[in-house]
Structure 1
């Protein structure tokens, strides 16, 4: 990895407040800090480079604070562990706020390090320090982080740093924010300070299902003839993946997955039903006699949608999620309240383990799912070959990408609206990482870089399929991948429009009996056309396109896959047809 090595003459002694902060940060085992630099961080920046030698953690330069947060977000989606991001003062935190909101909604751990100009007004430089000082800087993001602090002394800062990592990693996970006064960073140490050992502060023991409630639910499941598991927010650990499969097979339970959250169950397993609430999913939920949610996002909304489509759920509903600990009333990301027969306030993995352990002891689910256990994936008719001159609908795009990567282990980092998930089989928790949490726009490039960073040397091909609007919001995030030699393949599904909003405008026009022909005004990115390839090359990527049909895209993919596997950053401009159906 191409990380800058500082010039050193002799080992630096701990002399400054920021040296001490850097030493504590090293103890937290944060491998990287994505940073957009600024004067409020100059003391800490110097200490990370000249005191720690830019090693453990390594600094990763980003061209925008939102990229720094998105990179940390993508990294956490792969590893389940927090990465740090550093943002400059109030101005940097304001830039970073959308990315922090995404991480909050996605429930991923992250440590955001910030700074403020001198709290003591006497210490402020004229003009600039006044602009970069806020009375309560954390209030900018307090509604969508788990915890924040602005410690007033170095010992307090050390405790805050240790606490921050613990809180970020405790379910429900999320971002935390620490703000360090410039004066604290740049103060001269008067004597030695003890660097805390984080191992002395044990991580909280995960919550476990209450035994009586567990037994009631196990009995309910053992008597069910058509149980359904709704798999939502799930970690990327392969052991937990295997345990979920084992539970579903013992129960003979149909598993419905929510692909906003990434792969939670093998999508070609005989017990799996795709597309969340598609026609088959609606049928199995309507016919279910028990429904158990493993941290499903918005179960009440799912049930409401099913009821509106004539398939109300009448079965007892078991909800497993610690998510309500993060609900604070500012953001409505908590969704509607679902009526639950039983609610376990633990992570899904704990409930799965507890049910399997109870069954191991008492054979509550004897022989269930034997016909599915150990069976090969469900058969699927091979797709007809795509003609080389076929125009690129989203479905054709997905087919071409799948065929070009079929012999390569792929992590599909992101996909655009309308993506054809049925074209891909997800057989590993890292096969697909899901969405961005906050459902905004602009996070894709940064999250792709962060996920690719975490996947480096894993043997997996990091592939992100981004919309052109998402790509253009944050295309300069690619520079970080190019500079630090992070292999990554991005395919831009370029319909030259904010097409989802065209659909909204058409719907409104029809409701109001107005011309639908005007739906593209202030939506389409043409005249002039945006040269995606030139923008990618300008960030240091190898660029292809525009590819306008299946044959051109297939040729670009063959070359790009080979180059990425050799360590390159590649971007393909794929001109797709407007629309979400083939």
Structure 2
């Protein structure tokens, strides 16, 4: 007899699901029994950390990842992290144990009542099989749902007595099964967009994080240089779609109607690639765009296209569309030799005073010390503007950020990115307020000897909230300060070597040592209060 568990383990191996991120409860133990030795299980001490690590890993590899959580309570703990995975279109297949099938209706302890509804609307699809024999097929559906079309997390609840039942003979058909999709842009749509761009007096490209997620960086840069367009990064980016020192780079759009209007008011044609139109944050109402400005939008997400409040949206592959536009524009204008790129020089930063750094000084040290291909996982909201101003990011996959703003992403995602890219330097830059949401990720980093460098920017307060308090006129409300946290002792308690830096030279030495280490390192830096 082939059990549902054995069939599922074979399916995991066949589909390349060789790493499982999890935090088990009693309902999950039957699934983990006899896990194949070539499947790596990465334990997190909190479900939010588990999903954060998986999110970073899946984004870095570009492949789906299996996550195993406890039923309702464990899934509930992971919901904050799922907000980020949903916004970043991360292909996670989240599984959770369920009580014995015959007992669910009576709602015993650890039952997950209405399990498919629990993660809505943060998952693309969710289900609980109506019979044990449907478990392998439903897991396969969850995988394809997570990776087909616009990607995103899915969720499957499995009663724990299902795993020892006999699987169906027809499950043999699952493994050779494929789902093939094409997102080729229609030729007439390519010509429509190319014609408007070619005829524009001052075109602009607004590039979203999905450009980096689907590895369309090089072709969109070629498109930008061919057009000589202003290049903006869409508001609240979670990936790096364009080098931030390129002479055509104009910055990250402010996430408000007024901010976007002001930035684009001199452009007559705006092409948005791989981002919503637009994802605002602070409420600063204004006309969407200046009179006469035309907006074109290319996305792989049909829902993103449907909810855009203005412009013309095209649902098509980003890389394919950008490549087709390059060809169409070259045909219209003739092939011209590429102009040399004169990279702009980052601004100088202030030196530390009495051991307290301006955040820009920290980033200057990282820029000058860490290798050019370093991947930065950043979760320090009040210093993010300084990060973009002072860093020199040119390589794809150089920047990761919590896509929905859900805190607790930085530390675990850095672990996940490094597990995915063992040969690439990874630095986590995390604020003291954010760090506490995912602090147990340090234990996982230590246990699995993940050589990531964590840089904690400690200003003793929720800096972004202080900025918002000023913007909203709320005054000095309670709950904005977090003084007295000893991150060095916390890190050492979890098994991570930790050090404090009070000068730029000390910080540079510690970064070099951390990058050369065979396990994780934490560096604490005291910083000034700055605004986003």
Same fold (TM over 0.5): yes
Unaligned runs of 5+ in 1: 1-13, 328-333
- Is 1:303–1:312's contact at 8 Å kept on the other side of the alignment? no
Unaligned runs of 5+ in 2: none
Q: List structure 1 segments (4+ residues) > 4 angstroms apart after TM superposition.
A: 190-194, 277-284, 300-309, 387-390
Cα distance change, pair 200–17 in 1 and its aligned pair in 2 (3 A): closer
- Aligned equivalent of 1:6: none
- Aligned equivalent of 2:89: 107
* 1:122 CA drift (Å): 9.0
- Aligned equivalent of 1:422: 389
- Aligned equivalent of 2:41: 59
- Is 2:209–2:240's contact at 8 Å kept on the other side of the alignment? no
- Aligned equivalent of 1:322: 300
Residue 375 of structure 1 aligns to a residue whose secondary structure is coil
Q: Deviations over 1:440-462 (max 9, x none)?
A: 212221111111111212xx210
Residue 216 of structure 2 aligns to a residue whose secondary structure is helix
- Cα distance between partner residues in 2 of 1:157 and 1:439: 34
- Aligned equivalent of 2:456: 492
Q: Deviations over 1:474-503 (max 9, x none)?
A: 211111111111110111111111232233
Are positions 1:432 and 2:414 aligned together? no
Are positions 1:243 and 2:214 aligned together? no
Taking structure 1 as the reference length, the TM-score comes to 0.83
Residue 52 of structure 2 aligns to a residue whose secondary structure is helix
- Is 1:171–1:347's contact at 8 Å kept on the other side of the alignment? no
* 1:15 CA drift (Å): 5.1
* 1:391 CA drift (Å): 2.8
Of 14-23 and 409-418, the range deviating more from structure 2: 14-23
Residue 456 of structure 1 aligns to a residue whose secondary structure is coil
Residue 270 of structure 2 aligns to a residue whose secondary structure is strand
Q: Deviations over 1:291-319 (max 9, x none)?
A: 0000223427499969479x736311101
- Cα distance between partner residues in 2 of 1:387 and 1:522: 28
Taking structure 2 as the reference length, the TM-score comes to 0.90
- Aligned equivalent of 2:410: 444
Are positions 1:177 and 2:155 aligned together? yes
Residue 68 of structure 1 aligns to a residue whose secondary structure is helix
Q: Which of 116, 127, 140 is equivalent to 1:149? A: 127
- Aligned equivalent of 1:376: 341
* 1:410 CA drift (Å): 1.0
Q: Which of 241, 264, 288 is equivalent to 2:267? A: 288
- Aligned equivalent of 1:366: 334
Cα distance change, pair 262–84 in 1 and its aligned pair in 2 (3 A): same
- Aligned equivalent of 1:81: 63
Q: Deviations over 1:200-224 (max 9, x none)?
A: 2233x23222222221111111111
* 1:385 CA drift (Å): 7.3
* 1:247 CA drift (Å): 1.2
Cα distance change, pair 387–304 in 1 and its aligned pair in 2 (3 A): closer
User: 1:382-421 alignment to 2 at 5 Å?
Assistant: 383=348, 386=351, 389=354, 391-405=356-370, 407-417=371-381, 418-419=383-384, 420=386, 421=388
- Cα distance between partner residues in 2 of 1:367 and 1:283: 33
**What is the CA RMSD across the aligned residues, in angstroms?**
3.0
Residue 272 of structure 2 aligns to a residue whose secondary structure is strand
Q: Paired residues, what number?
A: 526
Q: Deviations over 1:425-475 (max 9, x none)?
A: 211112222x21221212221111111111212xx2101111111111221
- Cα distance between partner residues in 2 of 1:39 and 1:291: 53
* 1:178 CA drift (Å): 1.1
